Structure 1
């Protein structure tokens, strides 16, 4: 039997539970877990001391099966967690990435693969900044989203994968001195299983410009920018409730991102940014059978069956429903999304009036300052993940690593 490959799963939430149990069920893997949140590691380790975790998986055809496994180590000690590790998976929200990068950095060995599952915009920039010189001997990969819908049934004991995605885009940024002993895509695919099918994308900056954050903040601002503060009687539809103002904002943001991609290609003839496309085209490609009216971006979103019944993030009060501006559509997708996109566009020399308007509103709702006028010089820019947050001043710095 070949020697086991050791991987580290960072996190203690839904995704981390499912990934660690899934990976631990593979004969060729030894799984460590690092969770820095309160007493999660101690509680989780105690639960699996004398019994395996249960993972219930719902397959593509709707059938279910259970697997029983457990990590060999669950700890809050980064030095112990990183011992002998070749692949690190970060399965935590974007706001927690920095904490984990900082914890693992002193213990990173050359030729390690670091995977954001998912990464979200600015993941690679922040990782490279925090791990410093070690970035040149690591490969940093990031997926577009979690590979599955999942939840914890009982902490440390039972988790459930509710559905697997068919496909999942992933970028990989290889350090100049990195020599992995294994192929990136095939190895991660082997850990995840048959689905979702991983698709390696051309470059990480293109993926940063196509993140979900080009949709959520414009939708939130378009709906609530002129809100009078009065509670609503019911929760409004999100995608299927899109109006002309929201559609116009979404289209303008898309045009700014396309302009940034083209400007980058002009500055860097060796870079292919063709994966940056207009949001309307993206919907037509990804939901060809679910959309019944493809006449415009607005109608494509309103008639997308995949979005049936999805509503705005709301909080119920005694008077009715009010918007939740602390939901990830703003709290994550502004500092770890649209601020990053704006920053890349700035380096490319492309003006972004639509993004500037949205960010001015979004930062006010979050009580932060990332942008002043049209410049990313706010006092809280260091808390975001734009290239400027890490002192970058040119497009070349995004690619020459």
Structure 2
């Protein structure tokens, strides 16, 4: 039986721990001691009730702990399922306890592998491989303490590996956990494949008034994706594609990744034909993660990277500036800096080499 550590006690962490346990893996679930009280039932009983697309069953997790060293000891595969703002914290903690031969897999990454790589190098931890997906493997919601509803799985999942020279063998190993893993050229290519910054940010900023008024009683996709919003999404996507092309990475229009089942270049059609989108309400306020994560840790990171390599992103820049006003914080500095990613001042060619070999 393969043992896997799942770090994080949120929606994604619960879904991964329950799903992987149900599929026969020995799961060690970790949550920081400051937050494990929010999953008291799971910590005490080790049980998670899973429902929805991954099955309907109560599963018993092999280990539930707030001791990180215990969670990852002698475990080859470490799944980090936490928001982007926690990546730096987890990178520092893991760099103290991981060993050569282990694989740290971020679900999702949003360039987070670069933070972990930087910390591992600083700690002298050679031989640890980093990988990340472009999105969570599950659309999931915690119904209650110890009860997780999985509405759907995401397939395919794009995967970037750091260093990229280890991509083929790493993706092959990680395929035991999730179906449909597709290798990306690098963690930058993978991060630039995320749908959330492209869709959530224009949708949230252009519907800010409605979101504040409705307080969650608002169908984000079916009501919020009017023609003007869609045009803004497509303009952001066009800038993203120029950035990918500058690295000579493969690209596809955002509509192809929405998962409607119909290949179309039309974002509005792709959204309308996705039955899962029709169920989604909210956000309930302008401090929601669609704002607080996808602007500073998503689209702002893209725009900062673009500026460094000489790509113009006026639409992204405008959305970051407007997002800063709405969130009442500087979204340019609230997320990860290029320095924290370990790539500040690197030229385009230097960046491509660094992604490939980690040096």
The answer to whether TM tops 0.5 is: yes
1:9 aligned residue: 6
CA deviation string 1:40-74 (max 9, x = no partner): 279467523xxx625435457xxx553643223x3
1:124 aligned residue: 113
1:393 aligned residue: 345
Match of 1:308 among 278, 281, 291: 278
Instruction: State the alpha-carbon separation in 2 of the partners of residues 102 and 277 from structure 1.
Output: 34
1:198 aligned residue: 181
Question: Max radius of gyration: which structure?
Answer: 1
RMSD: 3.4
CA deviation string 1:319-352 (max 9, x = no partner): xxxxx11111110101210011112211220111
Say whether residues 1:329 and 2:282 are aligned partners.
no
Counterparts in 2 of 1:208 and 1:304: CA distance versus 1, 3 Å: same
Structure number with the higher helix fraction is 2
1:343 aligned residue: 304
Match of 2:16 among 16, 19, 23: 19
Counterparts in 2 of 1:305 and 1:54: CA distance versus 1, 3 Å: closer
2:234 aligned residue: 251
SS in 2 for 1:231: helix
Counterparts in 2 of 1:53 and 1:234: CA distance versus 1, 3 Å: closer
Counterparts in 2 of 1:55 and 1:199: CA distance versus 1, 3 Å: farther
Match of 2:70 among 73, 77, 80: 80
Counterparts in 2 of 1:232 and 1:112: CA distance versus 1, 3 Å: closer
Say whether residues 1:167 and 2:156 are aligned partners.
yes
Equivalent residues of 2:78, 2:102 under 8 A apart: yes
Instruction: State the alpha-carbon separation in 1 of the partners of residues 313 and 31 from structure 2.
Output: 38
Instruction: State the alpha-carbon separation in 2 of the partners of residues 347 and 97 from structure 1.
Output: 22
TM-aligned CA deviation for residue 111 of structure 1: 1.9
Equivalent residues of 1:237, 1:312 under 8 A apart: yes
Instruction: State the alpha-carbon separation in 1 of the partners of residues 216 and 8 from structure 2.
Output: 35
SS in 1 for 2:181: strand
Say whether residues 1:94 and 2:67 are aligned partners.
no
Instruction: State the alpha-carbon separation in 1 of the partners of residues 214 and 19 from structure 2.
Output: 42
Counterparts in 2 of 1:113 and 1:46: CA distance versus 1, 3 Å: closer
2:328 aligned residue: 367
SS in 2 for 1:199: strand
Instruction: State the alpha-carbon separation in 2 of the partners of residues 229 and 30 from structure 1.
Output: 42
1:318 aligned residue: none
| TM-score, L = length of structure 2 | 0.81
Counterparts in 2 of 1:312 and 1:84: CA distance versus 1, 3 Å: same
CA deviation string 1:151-183 (max 9, x = no partner): 446635x5454543443222222377x8x9x95
1:355 aligned residue: 316
Instruction: State the alpha-carbon separation in 2 of the partners of residues 215 and 37 from structure 1.
Output: 34
Say whether residues 1:69 and 2:51 are aligned partners.
no
SS in 2 for 1:218: helix
Instruction: State the alpha-carbon separation in 2 of the partners of residues 350 and 201 from structure 1.
Output: 21
| TM-score, L = length of structure 1 | 0.74
SS in 2 for 1:18: helix
TM-aligned CA deviation for residue 116 of structure 1: 1.0
Counterparts in 2 of 1:147 and 1:24: CA distance versus 1, 3 Å: same
TM-aligned CA deviation for residue 185 of structure 1: 3.3
Counterparts in 2 of 1:208 and 1:263: CA distance versus 1, 3 Å: same
1:238 aligned residue: 220
Counterparts in 2 of 1:223 and 1:160: CA distance versus 1, 3 Å: closer
Instruction: State the alpha-carbon separation in 1 of the partners of residues 74 and 62 from structure 2.
Output: 14
Equivalent residues of 1:56, 1:159 under 8 A apart: yes
SS in 2 for 1:88: strand
